[in-house]
Amino acid sequence: MSLALDLQKGGEVSHKLETLYQFILHQLTLANIKSDRKVLETILSVLVPLQEAWVELFAKSQNNETSDTPIEPPPETPSRNIASQG
């Protein structure tokens, strides 16, 4: 995700997203090393709302375009409770 950011054009928002993405990467590494499901739940609690916001922004951008062939938004990822999975 970090590679898609344009830190010069994106201004403060892109820098905050970069910080968030680095946090998520660090937490994923930690969850992997410790096999800690709670860390994964924390990551999901950040990623799910972020994904929902991106889907909403994408839909709004499509409504503002006059293209004859709209681009389909990415499929929604269902929220899952990792703790309940065995």
Asked whether 53 and 17 are in contact (CB, 8 A), the reply is no
Domain boundaries, the chain: 15-61
Q: Which residue has the higher pLDDT, 66 or 48?
A: 48
**Residue 13 pLDDT more than 90?**
no
CA distance 13 to 2: 12
Q: What is the mean pLDDT of the chain?
A: 78
pLDDT at 5: 65
**How far is CA 48 from its chain centroid?**
7
What single DSSP character describes residue 8? H
- Alpha helices of the chain — where are they, by DSSP H? 7-34, 37-64
Q: Is the dihedral of CA 42, 76, 63, 6 positive or negative?
A: positive
Asked whether 51 and 58 are in contact (CB, 8 A), the reply is no
CA distance 23 to 85: 24
